[in-house]
Structure 1
Amino acid sequence: MILLIFAASPSLALDLRLALPLPLPERAVEVSPPVRKGWVIYEVKPGDTLSGLAEHYGVNPKHIMWSSGLRSDRLYPGQRLLIPIVGVEERPPRVPPGVEVYRVRPGDTLDTLTKRFGLTPVELVSANPSLESLDRLVAGMELYIPRKAKGLLLTLGEGQTLVDLAARFGLSPVAVARANGVKDPTELRPGDLVLLPGIQAKTTYQNLLAKQEAERRARLEAERKRQEELRRLAQERARQQALAQRQAPRQQASPRPQVRRVSYQEGAMRWPLSGFRITTYFGQRGAFQRYHTGIDLAAPYGTPIVAAKAGQVEVAGWSSVGYGFHVVLDHGGGVETLYAHMNRIAVRSGQWVKAGQVIGYVGSTGWSTGPHLHFEVRVGGMARNPLAYLP
């Protein structure tokens, strides 16, 4: 059985020790705050030892013997012990006097901070040896700024003392205590900051400089690759433009195909674009080129494409044979029109559209080298020259 009792004075503990053989009252006893000390009433179990209980509760074995009125360290099952527990007052980690806690603001850099506070970079790094980069300071993070004595600022670890740190760096404990404003070194607790005057984190600073240089080289390499890719794309564009210019005279010199105009009753249509230029006509283009089943109308990206004639949307989607995003309209009587290489489709399959209604926008999807509309007219499934149906 374990019972935790808090007391405000040692006299109450003595009264409890003398009253151990008597039955304990069931009601709780309230004492005035603040509670600084308490006792655990513990019933000994088989196998318990005084040293083991002392280690478990973090107390001196002699204090258990004194509180429980024991004359020896031998314990018996069923025996009741009074184990003293001293509360530890919580406080934030101690920062040495002369060290300012600074919260990084947007735009702060290592250079601006060293100039603002009159420090060298190595002095600022020594006060903040956990810094991961000389270039990246995150707004809101805390930095320690030594305004008086300069040195290495470390966090006191579990089980460490000021004397241990001083010996580790070959410093006088008195000088370290004076730099930290400490009269009694035992006052320091794990997590407190200790300034080691005159010690500089040169190795840490050199490692950060090397990391900074590696990051700079990585950025330069990434920029070099980006510039190379831009040059490659520019050269590819220039090659395509030169090829188009060489082909243009041949196309202009070639006679325009003879077109047999059909009557309106046979299915006259309107132009699907405005502000365009015909770059390829219907028919055979060359000895080693495929037969062109429509006409190509060059226009800027995003130019609206309209239905050449009223009809129902038969296809609206992606083509696996080079048309890219395309639309096929069924005008009835076996007449269809196809609009290819769209950047975006504005209708859906099954929808009825009017002549002149926007059905999509010029793009360069599928097998295409630039923004244009490939326009086809099919009658009974056979491609016909679109110019025969256009005004």
Structure 2
Amino acid sequence: MEALLKAVVAGAALHSPLATLVQNDGTEVVLEPPANKGWVLYTVQSGDTLIGIAGRYRVDPKAIMYSSGLEGIKLKPGQQLRIPLTAGRSDREPRVPPGVEPYTVRSRDTLKGIAARFGVSELELITANPWIPSLDRLTEGAVLHIPTGQKGLLVRLSKGQTLLDLSGRFGVSLLKLAKVNGIDNPAEVAEGDLILIPGILARTTYDNLLAKREAERQARLEAERKAREEAARLAEQRRREEAARREAEAKRQARLAAQRQAQAQTQARRQAAQPATVRRSNFVSEGGYTYPVKSYVITTYFGRRGAYQRYHTGVDFAAPHGTPIYAARSGQVQVAGWSTWGYGYHVVIDHGGGVDTLYGHMSRFVVSAGEWVERGQLIGYVGSTGWSTGPHLHFEVRVGGSPRNPLAYLP
């Protein structure tokens, strides 16, 4: 009896039907088929995936994980799985027509690539797998059926459906349907079996998938177009913001320039209001200097001016255009020509000992470089050349190249 119980338990666990059992005394006992519950023990093969095995046995992958004690979906060849069976399940694997091979989808597989690999068209591949939802997206681990022989529509028998039902539905004789599918007895087919309907192509399904592909392509193009338009809009917005920033900066600089100009004009008016010193050219200082013009108005003094103006390195003597300019002290003409530093026509006289004088903004000069001049000798005429706002003489005294206040040297 112990042997009998072991046999029954083993049969139920492996889901193998038991017919008879002979006991030790030779008595034959007839056993009922075991309940359609338990597990199928399955050894994992190379290339197997949990999703593929679950699809093959039509069970939830989580049920296999729970029954087999798996913590993840990764499988190793040789690993034993317990696939739970439920009531009403057939004791055999679903029938597959001859000439139809299963193929497990791998990473980066495409429908077009698989069709080319097996020498079939996309239409024929779709006809053998009419449940595929997309021409461009395949699920890794899913099982496809490859029609390597007779081409046709592959359908799965539903509960209660027979070959005779398929024969009437698709207009194919029962004999031809049985022959193509290698079925000797039409009554042997069962729910879940795959049946090949020869001469039928799933063109409508294929056309629908093509239309879906085109719709998805158009959606991608539309999304790309909108992305380009958005990028262009943002670029234009940035360009306008930058232009507005530059315009605001230009206005700010213009305001600052106007303020500086107003301050300069105010200072010029203040300096012009100071009493004029006239006709002092007959006086000579202890250092031997005399005024370079005989009649003038001092408009700008030596030193710092407004907050935004350059340091003034000399004294400006305003006088009418053409007023004679005289050497303030005897010496040798060092420079007589045009200045690149804003002095316009100017003369520089070297007085020796590192001391020289500069006369700027002349209308013209009457001496030349290298010429010796005496104090009070005519060297040119008042003008407004170079960086000048009106006729005047810009007069400088330099000691060792550094500007000094001319009024400290004049009488």
**Smaller-chain TM-score bracket:** 0.3 to 0.5
Larger Rg: 2
Q: TM-score, normalised by structure 1?
A: 0.44
